[in-house]
Amino acid sequence: MISNGSGKEPIVIDGSYGEGGGQILRTSVTLSAVMGMPIEIVNIRAKRDNPGLRPQHVGAIKAISSLCNASVENLRVGSDRIVFSPNRLRSTFIRLDVGSAGSVTLLLQAIIPSVSLSRVEAELEIIGGTDVKWSPTMNYFTHVVLPAYRLLGIEANLLVKRRGYYPVGGGIVRVGIKPARELNPLNIVSLEKLLPSIISICSRLPRGVAERQMKAAKDYLSNRGINPKSFEINIDDSISPGSSILVYSVGDKGPFIGSGTIGERGKPSEEVGREAAKIFSEEYNSNAPMDRHVGDMLVPFLPFAKGESIFRVSKVTQHLSTNLHIASIFTKCQYSIDEAPDGTAIVSVKNP
């Protein structure tokens, strides 16, 4: 599925396209590594207040480059252009430090496709932030994203040895990734309603924090006729204090719906729980089988599936549109987005 990109002219990617943030970088580097295609990314985050690469982006690109022994030009904080030239991925064990509270789950969005689609096996230990702002919580990734991956034929397992919260980070996650032998197309348009479950966690905080998050989420849902089927409270190890909560509804063949929020200094635990429940209820009541975030995380796999993929999401995000665009550049796949009056959308991805 991959070949050595040595000697090929790089594909030029406009880093300001669509959402113009870290997502376009991660997806481009991922598909570059999978397909052995060198890339040049220009105008990196050009529309942002702090344009160019930030430390977390540099860390993610270094991580992928270490897996495929890539050469990377101009990789530094503030850079608005890089050239990434991958070599073949090989089965390996590697230890990665994302740096302070850099998001582990955002890195996993790049690493798992890079390894599995390259048909190799890897074990990794990643150090960084497991539950931080602007990224999926570790529980969301474990309980929502990984089951969706498995439906496609992607096998990865996670073991959280220690949580990591902003600003200290220091979380430790062990990751095992199996090679993808053959990918199943995604066909999930209708919704089988499944009652949600709730997991509330805290670290280096009184147990009452997790309990109040849980009660607020449960009460919010119950008042709207959604009665959760299971509840779990965990007190986890970490270097610094923090908390998070996940409300999710997931089955083996769908739905894949979840909402994870994190605690913050000065933010009442009850507000954290209600926020997660509110977002979940909006997703749940959209009657789409996939929430607005999990859909875009599946896109890098779909051009490699045997046949056309069709799925319905609760809302089209810029991340979804951007990932589809980047996937089409690398693989020449065809895609369409058919938005309905209720805000949901049916997305199709067809191999060339």
Spatial distance between the Cα atoms of 154 and 305, rounded to a whole number of angstroms: 11
Residue 29 lies inside a defined structural domain of this protein = yes
So what's the pLDDT on residue 4? 38
Spatial distance between the Cα atoms of 139 and 219, rounded to a whole number of angstroms: 21
93 shares its domain with 169: yes
Full-model pTM: 0.95
**Mean pLDDT of the 247-265 span:** 97
73 shares its domain with 174: yes
**Lowest mean per-residue pLDDT among 47-56, 231-240, 343-352:** 47-56
Pairing state between β 256-262 and 171-177: unpaired
**Mean pLDDT of the 68-77 span:** 95
Residue 1 lies inside a defined structural domain of this protein = no
Closest CA to 292 of 302, 279, 277, 310: 279
Rounded to the nearest integer, the mean pLDDT of the chain is 94
Residue 190 lies inside a defined structural domain of this protein = no
**Mean pLDDT of the 135-142 span:** 97
Residues 238 and 162: beta-carbon distance below 8 Å: yes
157 shares its domain with 271: no
157 shares its domain with 252: no
Q: What is the pLDDT of residues 160-194, one digit of tens each?
A: 999 999 989 999 999 999 999 899 999 999 988 99
The yes-or-no answer on residue 319 being catalytic is yes
So what's the pLDDT on residue 5? 43
Q: What is the pLDDT of residues 5-53, one digit of tens each?
A: 456 899 999 999 988 888 899 999 999 999 999 999 999 998 888 899 9
The residue out of 261, 285, 309 marking a domain boundary is 285
The residue out of 234, 263, 285 marking a domain boundary is 285
Residue 19 lies inside a defined structural domain of this protein = yes
**Lowest mean per-residue pLDDT among 99-108, 148-157, 181-190, 242-251:** 99-108
108 shares its domain with 129: yes
So what's the pLDDT on residue 158? 97
Residue 2 has pLDDT above 50, yes or no: no
CATH number of the domain bearing residue 208: 3.30.360.20
228 shares its domain with 207: yes
Residue 186 lies inside a defined structural domain of this protein = no
So what's the pLDDT on residue 7? 63
So what's the pLDDT on residue 329? 96
The domain in which residue 279 lies consists of: 197-285
**Rg, the chain, Cα only:** 20
Type of residue at 91: S
**Mean pLDDT of the 286-309 span:** 96
Residue 1 has pLDDT above 60, yes or no: no
173 shares its domain with 61: yes
> In the numeric block, which tokens belong to residue 190?
């209708």
Residue 162 lies inside a defined structural domain of this protein = yes
Indicate the number of domains in the chain: 2
Residue 74 lies inside a defined structural domain of this protein = yes
Spatial distance between the Cα atoms of 13 and 16, rounded to a whole number of angstroms: 9
Residue 5 lies inside a defined structural domain of this protein = no
3-class state of residue 22 by DSSP: helix
Cα dihedral 94, 100, 105, 107 in deg (nearest 10): -50
50 shares its domain with 168: yes
The residue out of 239, 264, 285 marking a domain boundary is 285
- Marked catalytic residue, from 143, 293, 319, 325: 319
36 shares its domain with 132: yes
281 shares its domain with 322: no
CATH number of the domain bearing residue 99: 3.65.10.20
